[in-house]
Amino acid sequence: MLCSRAANAAPEARLEGGRLFFYADSLGITARDGARFVLANGTLVSGTAAYVDLRNDRAVVAGNAQATRGGGTLRGDAIAFDLDGRRVDVLSTTTGIGRVDAAFASTQPAPGDGDLFAFPDVPDGRAYIRARRAEIVARTSVRFRPAAFPTSAGAPPVPMYLYTFAARNGYAATALAPGAFDQPYGLYSTPNALTELHLRYLNGIGPSLGLGENLIDNNDGYIAGGVETPLHGRIADGLNGYRPLGPAGSVSLTASSNDGLHQAQLGFTQAVGSLVSRLNYGITNGGYSSALLSLRTRDQALGGGITGHTSVSFGFQAQDGGLLSLAPNPPLESTVWQHGIDVFLASPLVHGPWKTTLSATADGSRTDYSYPQHFNALETVVSGSRRLDRALTLFFGYDARWSADIFPDQQARFYPPAATPYGYAGYGTMRLANADVQYVAGPYTSVRVSYRRADDFPQANFLTGRPPNEVHADLRLRPASNIGVAFGRSYDFGWNGARWVPGWNVSVFQ
Amino acid sequence: MIAAVVAAAAVLTYRVVPLACTPAGIAIAGGGVLRVPANASCAGVTPGRAIAVTIDAEGSATPHALDAAAHPASELPAAAFAFAPASPAAGEGADVTITIVVRVPASTATGSDIYLATERSGYNPAEIRMDQLDARRYRLQLPLRVGARLAFRVTRGSSTTIERDAKGRLPAPHIATGQAGATFEIVVAAWSDDT
């Protein structure tokens, strides 16, 4: 029932004031130098100043407050009301608080209604948006006209700004790829739909303009679509959707198109007792498709603080023209079936020597294919941390992964002995040791420096494996009160000809 | 000694947000009405703008320009009110630091970056990277105003690596609120790309 409530999209209240200040973190609007409300039921409320509590759909008008509805007029030193106009309270310095009837004809004392007259003491300079008019759709959005964004360096103006504060799942979805910076600019909103323009910056690509459209149903499902046009790059688009199926199931859809590659994935999830089943189907425009049904236990306590889960899977992969290009007759192998098992164990966090905190995991899997082929993998991870002082923490770890890609009686066909990129026999080892130091100076201020030492087989420049040595640094800081910035960059000591890995990781947040 | 305390009490000022000022009293945020002396002036009182008031021995309030040392309105003596508020005036607007601690599933790859995606960015999945506490826990401290709220969800940096609940369903966004010293502990049961 997408859009079934779209008829409710008309604003429940319009507010005009000499100056309006919107505070995003408290979802409050303060009106100064005059305030005038027009409610959807025809009630007019005016006064010297006003505060709107968008979380609770309430407002207070203070100073020479007056409300009119039909032929009735109400005057007071302050008037508090619900935005739907059904409940109105008046505050008088001579009689205290009274609740008013629908016709504004009589008032009953209501000293317990003081909470309705909340008017927070917030400096104008802390506002996120400054405007002259606001159109409020309860529990959904507020549209400001004309709007400006006060900063220490100025207040960039825009003719209109739509701020959406609905917290339903569909509003919290995006089909746009992650960006280093993403400033949404709401264009249109109803309780069941949201259209936003996104001003973005993509790492390695540059500035980009995105458009997102979310459709939300009343069962917490949604479809989110997005398209973006980088200034220097190709148009990319995406779609994702989600819908609960009963109390323990869900269906999800993702699709994207980028640089000529189109792909889509459909997934079903259903919890059954202590098991979670998943069915994922994927397809691309390159002729590849796959389906995998998996059944996984939830994490179980196994004693001694150890937890673990097991999953089994069954499915296929298919490729037009053959999935295994090195097979004797690839077209005959266009579909390969598979089944597998995976066992995962995790230790609890334990206190080790020298005030360290330690943990370990082990993950073993085997997958058998119909070709015939089987793939075995075992990965163990030991990691630890030690807090050096209140702000400084040391992290360290060792990760070892062994894998074997076995083609019975045909190993040499798929892993020829020649010195090619795949010149090993199908048995790989990946070992990674890390040491990180993290310094957290306070909210929004931290530095993390990481050293990684990789010892892989195979590991060859330009060919395969990870850089033997890598240093990475991340810095997060807040140069102004309403903006934060994070930077990150890696140094690879000449691996693949790169010392500094090209491109910074940059993100900007409020 | 007692006289000194009484003298100090006599000059206490309180920070209030006036809703209206008339010869009958000062209505303040929270719905209370303060008594005013017969000769009090309402000049300089702007509805919705914080001011300071002093309470004299008779319990009457005299408005003043805002005083940095003013006590919060919640400490106003009951005797100062012609009509007492039902509850202390709220919303002083101060900043508090809240802490969000996220525990990730043990199967999360070691060294994964964990992010908060908040409503402020339209839930950009790579909005704010969290600091790591240990192998399974991440933390972020945020300044928020008292009473403010922030809706967020946890991701590993992309829209395909968003948290899921134990049944594989998408949980509603978490809500953090501005309370002094508050810590919000979030347990991520699973990720959307778990197999």
Choose the closest CB to A111 out of B86, B129, B141. Answer: B86
How does the average pLDDT of chain B come out, rounded? 85
Q: Provide the residue ranges of all domains of chain A, joining segments of one domain with +.
A: 11-157
Other Cβ atoms less than 10 A from the Cβ of A208: the count is 23
CA distance B13 to chain A (A): 16
Tokens of A67: 């409300």
For residue range A360-398, list pLDDT tens digits in order. Answer: 999 999 999 999 999 999 999 999 999 999 899 999 999
Residue A282 contacts B where some CB pair is shorter than 8 Å:
no
Phi and psi for A6 in degrees, rounded to 5? -60, -25
C-alpha pair distances (Å), B132 with each of A92, A353, A391, A507: 54, 20, 12, 18
User: Does the pLDDT value for residue B2 go beyond 60?
Assistant: no
Q: Which long-range contacts (CB under 8 A, 24 or more apart) does A317-321 make?
A: A317/A288, A317/A289, A317/A290, A318/A288, A318/A289, A318/A290, A319/A287, A319/A288, A319/A289, A320/A287, A320/A288, A321/A287
Portion 92-151 of B in contact with A at CB < 8 A: 92-93, 97, 105-107, 110-111, 117, 119-129, 131-136, 141-145, 147-151
A507: which chain B residues are within 8 Å (Cβ-Cβ)? 126-129
User: Does the pLDDT value for residue A461 go beyond 80?
Assistant: no
CA A100 – CA A74 distance, rounded (Å): 9
Contact assignment for A359 to B143 by CB distance below 8 Å: no
Query: In which band, very low, low, confident or very high, does the pLDDT at A418 lie, cut at 50, 70 and 90?
Result: low
Task: Write down the pLDDT at residue A462.
Answer: 66
Question: Quick one: average pLDDT of A157-163?
Answer: 84
CA A496 – CA A503 distance, rounded (Å): 15
CB A263 within 8 A of CB A251: no
Please report the DSSP string for A37-52 in residue order.
EEETTS-EEEESEEEE
Query: In which band, very low, low, confident or very high, does the pLDDT at B121 lie, cut at 50, 70 and 90?
Result: confident
Tokens of A491: 């140094």
User: Does the pLDDT value for residue A256 go beyond 60?
Assistant: yes
Q: Give every CB contact of residue A371 below 8 A, 6+ residues apart in sequence.
A: A324, A327, A333, A336, A407
Residue ranges of chain B that CATH labels 2.40.50? 2-83
Tokens of B140: 């972020």
Residue A359 contacts B where some CB pair is shorter than 8 Å:
yes
Question: Quick one: average pLDDT of B129-154?
Answer: 87
Query: ipTM of the predicted structure?
Result: 0.78
A509: which chain B residues are within 8 Å (Cβ-Cβ)? 120-121, 127-128
User: Does the pLDDT value for residue A197 go beyond 50?
Assistant: yes
Contact assignment for B153 to A357 by CB distance below 8 Å: no
Kind plus residue range of the DSSP H or E element containing A378: strand A373-387
Of residues A489 and A435, more confidence is placed in A435
Contact assignment for A296 to B136 by CB distance below 8 Å: no
Q: How much of chain A exceeds pLDDT 90, in percent?
A: 55
For residue range B145-155, list pLDDT tens digits in order. Answer: 777 788 899 99
CB A195 within 8 A of CB A186: yes
Q: Which residue has the tokens 């002083």?
A: B92
Question: Quick one: average pLDDT of A262-267?
Answer: 95
Choose the closest CB to A359 out of B122, B136, B148. Answer: B136
Q: How much of chain B exceeds pLDDT 70, in percent?
A: 90
Tokens of B62: 């005299």
Task: Write down the pLDDT at residue A114.
Answer: 83
Residue A364 contacts B where some CB pair is shorter than 8 Å:
no
Task: Write down the pLDDT at residue A367.
Answer: 98
Which residue, among A36, A32, A30, A1, has the nearest Cα to A16 in the 3D structure? A36
User: Does the pLDDT value for residue A482 go beyond 70?
Assistant: no
Phi and psi for B160 in degrees, rounded to 5? -100, 5
Please report the DSSP string for A269-317 in residue order.
EEEETTEEEEEEEEEETTSEEEEEEEEEEPPEEEETTEEEEEEEEEEEE
Portion 467-506 of A in contact with B at CB < 8 A: 474, 476, 484, 486
Task: Write down the pLDDT at residue B66.
Answer: 86
User: Does the pLDDT value for residue B58 go beyond 80?
Assistant: yes
First and final C-alpha spacing in chain B: 74
User: Does the pLDDT value for residue B189 go beyond 80?
Assistant: yes
Residues forming beta bridges with residue B52, ordered by sequence position: B15, B64
Question: Quick one: average pLDDT of B159-176?
Answer: 89
Residues forming beta bridges with residue A280, ordered by sequence position: A267, A292
Residue ranges of chain B that CATH labels 2.60.40.10? 95-191
Of residues A30 and A234, more confidence is placed in A30
For residue range A343-364, list pLDDT tens digits in order. Answer: 999 999 999 999 999 999 999 9
Question: Quick one: average pLDDT of A155-184?
Answer: 79
CA A313 – CA A323 distance, rounded (Å): 19
Q: How much of chain A exceeds pLDDT 70, in percent?
A: 93
Residues forming beta bridges with residue B50, ordered by sequence position: none
Phi and psi for B75 in degrees, rounded to 5? -95, 5
Question: Quick one: average pLDDT of A301-322?
Answer: 95
Task: Write down the pLDDT at residue A421.
Answer: 54
User: Does the pLDDT value for residue B1 go beyond 60?
Assistant: no
pTM of this structure: 0.78
For residue range A59-117, list pLDDT tens digits in order. Answer: 999 999 999 998 889 999 999 999 988 899 999 999 999 999 888 888 899 888 888 89
User: Which of 2.60.450, 2.40.10, 2.40.50, 3.90.550 would CATH assign to domain A11-157?
Assistant: 2.60.450
Phi and psi for B6 in degrees, rounded to 5? -60, -40
Task: Write down the pLDDT at residue B94.
Answer: 66
User: Does the pLDDT value for residue B90 go beyond 50?
Assistant: no
A465: helix, coil or strand?
coil
Topology, domain B2-83: OB fold (Dihydrolipoamide Acetyltransferase, E2P) (2.40.50)
Contact assignment for B149 to A118 by CB distance below 8 Å: no
User: Does the pLDDT value for residue A505 go beyond 80?
Assistant: no
CB A233 within 8 A of CB A205: yes
Question: Quick one: average pLDDT of A17-38?
Answer: 92
CA A377 – CA A37 distance, rounded (Å): 66
User: Which of 2.60.40.10, 2.40.37.10, 2.60.120.380, 3.40.1380.10 would CATH assign to domain B95-191?
Assistant: 2.60.40.10
